[in-house]
């Protein structure tokens, strides 16, 4: 699920939970603002670093694509 070589061991479990929450929150083909997604996740999870790791690993796996100078995320799969 997560990109294991980049995610620290202490964040792997939390990052996996955050990725699942993102997948439930953002439908395939939907665009969402990066700050808005981050704010919503900070209300549910208290670790901003783990949230960033989860979003970045999803971008690396091509589940998200950046638009408009990385301000907008679009879910691909």
Task: Report the chain (77 residues): mean pLDDT per 10 consecutive residues.
Answer: 64 93 94 94 94 92 89 90
Domain hosting residue 27, numbered range: 20-75
Establish if 35 belongs to a structural domain. Answer: yes
31-33/64-67 β-pairing: unpaired
Indicate whether 15 belongs to any domain.
no
- Residue 8 domain flag: no
Q: Is residue 49 part of a domain?
A: yes
In a domain, 9, yes or no: no
Domain total of the chain: 1
pLDDT on residue 77: 81
How far, in Å, CA of 49 to CA of 26, rounded? 20
pTM above 0.85, yes or no: no
Q: Does residue 10 lie within any of the structural domains?
A: no
pLDDT the model gives residue 5: 60
Nearest to 6 by CA among 77, 62, 60, 64: 60
Residue 12 lies in a domain: no
> What angle, 0 to 180 degrees and rounded to 10, lies between the N-to-C axes of helices 34-44 and 48-60?
130
């Amino acid at each position: 699920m997560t990109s294991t070589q980049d995610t620290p061991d202490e964040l792997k479990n939390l990052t996996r939970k955050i990725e699942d929450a993102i997948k439930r929150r953002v439908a395939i083909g939907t665009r969402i603002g990066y700050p808005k997604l981050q704010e919503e996740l900070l209300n549910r999870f208290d670790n901003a670093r783990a949230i960033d790791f989860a979003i970045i690993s999803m971008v690396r796996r091509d589940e998200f694509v950046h638009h408009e100078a990385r301000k907008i995320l679009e879910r691909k799969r």
